[in-house]
Amino acid sequence: MLKTKGKKVFVGLSGGVDSSVSASLLKRQGYDVTGVFIKVWQPEFVKCDWREDRLDAMRVCAKLDIPFLDLDLEEEYKKEVFDYMIKEYKEGRTPNPDVMCNKSIKFGGFLKFALDSGADYVATGHYAHNFFEEGKFKMLAGKDNNKDQSYFLWTLGQEQLKYILFPVGHLEKPEVRKIAKKDDLLTAEKKDSQGLCFVGMVEMKDFLKRFLPEEKGDILDEEGKVIGEHDGAHYFTIGQRHGFLVTEKTPEDKPYFVVSKDVVKNTIIVSQKLQKKDSFDRKEIIIKNISWISGENPNFDKKYQARIRYRQILQTCKIDSTPSTDNLKVIFDEPQKAVSEGQSLVIYDGEECLGGGVIGG
């Protein structure tokens, strides 16, 4: 059994209920707990309630009688998360900034700060499991299927996981709120945050216009006929069904979905067939920037499961090598719809998250 008494843990407090309960549970288990509020960069034109969140985090620390610290990671966040996101959109991909935030901020800058300050562990309110078995740290999906966040944690490896605790990973959300209420934490009924603060407050297209200028381009159907106009191919993601104007249509037409885009030619291709099997479905997907939690490649002869977007039902697949040592091919049993370059493809063996990569061309 893990000895907790006297072990020092820094808890990343966001001002939400999950991290608040994480701190409460760890203190109850005998850890020496310190709450840390991480200040990240945000655009000046977006209203984000970080000051209120920081105040809530301070109040939670006061209630639990634990120290409170501020950690300024604005510079790191701007470079590693925001600049990365804009660069990806500019190049025609659809990035996953939450993955980069976990990699570079919560389990990058925050973890380094905690260890340099004498902490034994860091903890967050993520819904995931982390445990040691057969000489390796492993990560399982959170118990709450609706809140499982292992999809956003696939970049973590052995060097990070040995210092990380996920105190609420074995709980479902209603249980977490029940604990918060029992402990009289002011965050008990607080609404969940929507990922990146500055993105959740505005429409993505309106947000991107601040950094990527509009450029009118053609909307094409599957035969290459021009049927409308859009404001810029980099604003769109595969599977999107709004934000563009199709002028060549009839009242009987079904909704159109973006099925392909070309940022060099500044065109998007739309189709009405996304809900059915069509030529844009893909069974084979190349991934890059690959990371395996164990540090070792999985068994290429074994069937696994994977998802190409958050909360997608796990899909059966196998993993194959490619001519490039930097890439791998994931072959699904069933064709996958709306495959977006830049998104994360995360691989599982049952409940265990094995790792993943970034979807390429």
Catalytic residues: 101, 197
Which of 178, 161, 163, 151 has its CA nearest to residue 18?
178
What span, in angstroms and rounded, lies between the C-alpha atoms of 338 and 237?
9
Determine whether the annotation assigns residue 14 to a binding site: yes
**125 belongs to an annotated ligand binding site:** yes
158: which residues sit within 8 A by CB, 6+ positions away? 136, 137, 293, 294, 295
43: tokens are 């655009």
User: 68 Cβ partners below 8 Å, 6+ apart?
Assistant: 13, 34, 35, 36, 37, 57, 58, 61, 62
- Which structure tokens are listed for 266? 């500044």
Helix-helix angle 173-182:17-28, to 10 degrees: 60
d(C-alpha 43, C-alpha 65), whole Å: 34
Cβ-contact 330, 287 below 8 angstroms: yes
15 annotated as belonging to a binding site for a ligand: yes
The single-letter code of the amino acid at 280 is F
In this structure, are residues 207 and 198 in contact, taking their beta carbons and an 8 Å threshold?
yes
Nearest 5°: the CA angle 327, 329, 330 is: 135
Rounded to the nearest 5 degrees, what angle is found at the Cα of 353, between the Cα atoms of 18 and 71?
40
CA atoms of 248 and 225, how far apart (whole Å): 10
Handedness of CA 169, 171, 177, 183 (dihedral sign): negative
357 is in an annotated binding site: no
Distance, first Cα to last Cα, the chain: 46
Measuring CA to CA, which residue among 359, 361, 353, 360 is closest to residue 157? 353
Q: Is 253 annotated as a binding residue?
A: no
13 is in an annotated binding site: yes
Tokens of 147: 């809140």
Three-class SS state of 160: helix
Q: Determine whether the annotation assigns residue 17 to a binding site.
A: yes
In this structure, are residues 79 and 73 in contact, taking their beta carbons and an 8 Å threshold?
A: no
Annotated binding-site members for ATP: 12-19, 38, 125
Binding-site positions: 12-19, 38, 125
